[in-house]
Amino acid sequence: MRIAVQTARCLTKAARIATRAARIALQTALLWLLAAVCNRVATALHVPVPGSILGCAVLFLLLLFRVVPLAWVEAGADWLIAQLLLFFLPPAVGIIQYPALIRADGWRLLLVILTSTALVMAITGAVADAITRRRQRRAHPLAHQALTGRRSG
């Protein structure tokens, strides 16, 4: 009896893992399909914006107007973000092939990398803070009003 219960638990856990993996694969495929379509559209219409940026804008609008529920893309997007470091390895390895560039302009490259990283971190932090405050105001409007002395809008 005990072995049967343990086996059932293992099978249930394996089924949950398989379901999550399938969901991530399907959502990643949907995101890839959207990117591919937007790349084709950008190329066909000679739009001066890369297809990937166009795809991000289209996805944003689809989510904003609730044409596509967040649950349809969230797990795939989370997985892609978790794997983001892998997308930066080829450029990092490629720059090693240009030691003269690094000697001549390495400090400029480092300055651009550090500045852009600091800007991304600051902007991301500010946006995350604003979103958190907005969610707290919506979830607990009376508590927010008591703490700040202002009415929530």
Report residue 136: phi and psi, to 5°. -65, -40
Angle (CA) 71-152-130 rounded to 5° is 50
> Tens digit of pLDDT for each residue in 90-109?
777 777 788 888 889 888 98
Identity of the amino acid at 116:
S
User: How much of the chain, in percent, has pLDDT values that exceed 70?
Assistant: 88
Give the tens place of pLDDT for each residue, 112-140. Answer: 989 999 999 999 999 999 999 888 888 87
> CB under 8 Å to 31, separation ≥6 — which residues?
59, 73, 76, 77, 80
